[in-house]
């Protein structure tokens, strides 16, 4: 039996989906524990691309039990549409369960996300506008509406009306926008209740039973360490606990249950949305990485900001998450760059530092200290044995391991499920 967690070590989009898909092959249960439809996890199987947002990636493997845990905020419009799309591609949806404790994203959350971003002006965070921040705010303010409320119409109606009393005032008076109609929302959401009611359950019972039976469980991280509400580059973060610790809160297991934590990274760094990014290459190099790596958002289609790999960040992520193995992607992409730079430390006030400052002013002032590596001309996308990798690629990987203080177990050399090297 093993309980595994897959998390992102950078600013998201590291290619978690690919490893979750691979590790899901040996799992019995796959659980999403945080975030919502801000996530976009790409998996390519036999040339067919799947972009999963809310539904655990394990769904692509027949017979796996998939769980959307209590830590996730659920937009039922997105969820039902995603279910339909996957069913259309022949994916079996019968083993999908949803926590009755998970909070709902309501239409006013999406509207407020958009309005708040507009009001921030130049200081906007660059959110996905999926209602994530406002939904988690309501959860912590204890105004949120949960999946279990969908199953009790009178409770749901009462909560929607109570929320709208305040929300509509904010939307119309503070932002000058049109108020929401309670009846319309209730009718729409009762439709989702009907569509989802068989799947809404106490998922902790299901997860604990699987643990007791010695089954393999995989926790699917969304977002990443640098987007984590506590440990990321606040306020340019998401509103959930994306780190491995989030599993305990977002799925209802104790920390002693976790056996392995896989930290996924790219051989470079990317970021969507605003905020400091020390190794960013806002130049031809960044453009080249974007084009070679296909760095455009899965959810919003936005071009991703690109730069060199920052091992200060990977080491930080290793500590915060208790990473046991690294899984690195896009080794095929980075090799094509000629000379590759790797950030070893930051220079701050004339001194090398090895930590991520909490203050964004300080973080923005950090100047990367780089080491240089030679790229490789060979096409490595067909390589499946570590020994066959070019010497320059091995040198680069070894140095990443040294600086991060964690061993690499998987190396991605392409988008396909099969394009992975397992380091024995």
Q: Considering the complex, state which of residue 128 and residue 241 has its C-beta at the smaller distance from ligand IMO.
A: 128
For residue 349, the minimal CB distance to ligand GDP (Å) is 34
Sole window of 240-248, 328-336, 368-376, 402-410 interacting with ligand GDP (rule: CB under 6 A):
328-336
State in angstroms the smallest separation of the CB of 326 from ligand GDP: 13
Q: How far is CA 411 from CA 19, 114, 263, 415, in A?
A: 10, 38, 12, 11
For Mg ion (CB under 5 A), the number of binding residues is 3
Which of residues 126 and 357 has its CB atom nearest to ligand IMO in the complex?
Answer: 126
By CB under 6 A, what part of segment 31-60 binds ligand GDP?
A: 40-42, 44
Q: Which of 374, 396, 283, 388 minimizes the C-alpha distance to 330?
A: 396
Task: Check 21, 28, 41, 228 and give the catalytic one.
Answer: 41
- Measured at the alpha carbon of residue 411, what is the angle toward residues 410 and 413, in degrees to the nearest 5? 145
Query: Is 412 near ligand GDP (CB under 6 A)?
Result: yes
Query: Is 41 an annotated catalytic residue?
Result: yes
Rounded to a whole number of angstroms, the minimum distance from the CB of residue 109 to ligand IMO is: 11
| 82 part of the interface to ligand GDP, by CB under 6 A | no
Residue 80, Cβ neighbours under 10 Å: how many?
Answer: 15
- Which range in 6-14, 23-31, 347-355, 391-399 contacts ligand GDP by CB under 6 A? 6-14
Q: How far is CA 182 from CA 185, 257, 306, 372, in A?
A: 5, 43, 43, 59
Beta strands in 54-95, from DSSP E residues, in sequence order: 65-68, 73-74
Q: Are strands 65-68 and 73-74 parallel, antiparallel or unpaired?
A: unpaired
Q: Number of C-alpha atoms within 13 angstroms, CB side, residue 42?
A: 19
Evaluate whether 12 touches 272 at the Cβ level (below 8 Å).
yes
Could you tell me the smallest distance in angstroms from the CB atom of residue 113 to ligand IMO?
Answer: 7
> How far apart, in whole angstroms, are the C-alpha atoms of residue 344 and residue 365?
16
In 3D space, the residue among 229, 239, 188, 218 whose CA is nearest the CA of residue 36 turns out to be: 239
Active site residue 109: no
CA 352, CA 138: separation in Å to the nearest integer? 41
Instruction: Report if residue 40 touches Mg ion, rule: CB under 5 A.
Output: yes
Residues 4-23 that bind Mg ion (CB under 5 A): 13
Binding to ligand GDP (CB under 6 A) within 269-308 occurs at 294, 298
Q: Is 39 or 389 the residue whose CB approaches ligand IMO more closely?
A: 39
Q: Cβ of residue 395: shortest distance to Mg ion, in angstroms?
A: 29
Rounded to whole angstroms, the Cα distance separating 181 from 161 reads 9
> Which residues, listed in sequence order, are joined to residue 347 by a DSSP beta bridge?
352, 367
Give the residue at shortest CB distance from ligand IMO. 273
List contacts with ligand IMO (CB under 6 A).
8, 11-13, 38-41, 125-128, 130, 132-133, 222-224, 227, 236, 238-239, 272-273
Q: Which of 231, 209, 207, 229 is nearest to 220 (CA)?
A: 207
Q: Which is nearer to ligand IMO, 114 or 362 (CB)?
A: 114
Q: Please report, as ranges, the residues that interact with Mg ion according to CB under 5 A.
A: 13, 40, 298
Binding site for ligand GDP (CB under 6 A): 8, 12-18, 40-42, 44, 294, 298, 329-330, 332-333, 412-415
């Amino acid at each position: 039996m093993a309980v595994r967690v897959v998390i992102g070590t950078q600013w998201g989009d590291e290619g978690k989906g690919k490893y979750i898909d691979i590790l899901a092959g040996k799992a019995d249960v796959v659980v999403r524990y945080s975030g919502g439809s801000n996530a976009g996890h790409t998996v390519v199987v036999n040339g067919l691309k799947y972009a999963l947002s809310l539904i655990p990636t394990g769904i692509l493997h027949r017979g796996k039990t998939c769980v959307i845990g209590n830590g996730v905020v659920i937009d039922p419009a997105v969820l039902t549409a995603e279910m339909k799309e996957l069913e259309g591609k022949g994916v079996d949806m019968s083993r999908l369960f949803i926590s009755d404790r998970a909070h709902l994203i309501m239409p006013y959350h999406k509207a407020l996300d958009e309005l708040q971003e507009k009001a921030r002006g130049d200081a906007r965070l660059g959110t996905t506008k999926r209602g994530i921040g406002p939904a988690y705010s309501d959860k912590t303010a204890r105004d949120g509406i949960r999946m279990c409320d969908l199953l009790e119409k009178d409770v749901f109606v009462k909560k929607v009306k109570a929320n709208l009393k305040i929300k509509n005032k904010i939307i119309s008076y503070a932002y000058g926008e049109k108020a929401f109609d309670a009846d319309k929302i209730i009718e729409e959401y009762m439709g989702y209740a009907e569509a989802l009611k068989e799947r809404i359950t106490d998922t902790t019972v299901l997860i604990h039973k699987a643990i007791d039976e010695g089954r393999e469980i995989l926790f699917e991280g969304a977002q990443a360490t640098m987007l984590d509400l506590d440990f990321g580059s606040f306020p340019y973060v998401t509103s959930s606990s994306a780190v491995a610790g989030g599993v305990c809160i977002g799925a209802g297991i104790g920390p002693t249950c976790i056996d392995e934590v896989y930290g996924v990274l790219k051989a470079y760094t990317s970021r969507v949305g605003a905020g400091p990014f020390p190794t960013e290459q806002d130049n031809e190099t960044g453009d080249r990485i974007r084009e070679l790596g296909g760095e455009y958002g899965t959810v919003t289609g936005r071009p991703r900001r690109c730069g060199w790999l920052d091992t200060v960040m990977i080491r930080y992520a290793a500590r915060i998450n208790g990473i046991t193995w690294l899984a690195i992607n896009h080794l095929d992409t980075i090799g094509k760059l000629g000379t590759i730079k790797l950030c070893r430390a930051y220079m701050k006030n004339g001194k090398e530092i090895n930590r991520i400052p909490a203050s964004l002013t300080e973080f923005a002032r950090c100047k990367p200290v780089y080491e240089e590596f030679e790229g490789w001309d060979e096409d490595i996308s067909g390589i499946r044995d570590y020994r066959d990798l070019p010497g320059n690629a091995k040198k680069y990987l070894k140095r990443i391991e040294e600086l991060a203080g964690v061993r690499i177990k998987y190396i991605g050399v392409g988008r396909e499920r099969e394009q992975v090297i397992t380091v024995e």
